[in-house]
Amino acid sequence: MARQNALAKDRNKKAGARADAPDSQRDQRRARPTEGPARAAELERLIHERVRLAIVSALAVNDSLTFNDLKQLLNTTDGNLSVHARKLEEAQYVVCTKSFEGRTPKTEYRLTAAGRRALERYLGHMESVIRAARGG
Q: Tell me: the pLDDT tens digits for 36-85?
A: 444 444 568 899 999 999 999 999 999 999 999 999 999 999 999 999 99
pLDDT at 44: 80
| pLDDT of residue 28 exceeding 70 | no
The DSSP output letter for 30 is: S
Q: Looking at the whole model, is its pTM more than 0.85?
A: no
Domains of the chain, by residue range, sit at 46-136
Is the pLDDT at 22 greater than 70? The verdict is no
Q: What is the CATH architecture assignment of 46-136?
A: Orthogonal Bundle (1.10)
Does residue 4 carry a pLDDT above 80?
Answer: no
Helix, strand or coil, per DSSP, at residue 107? strand
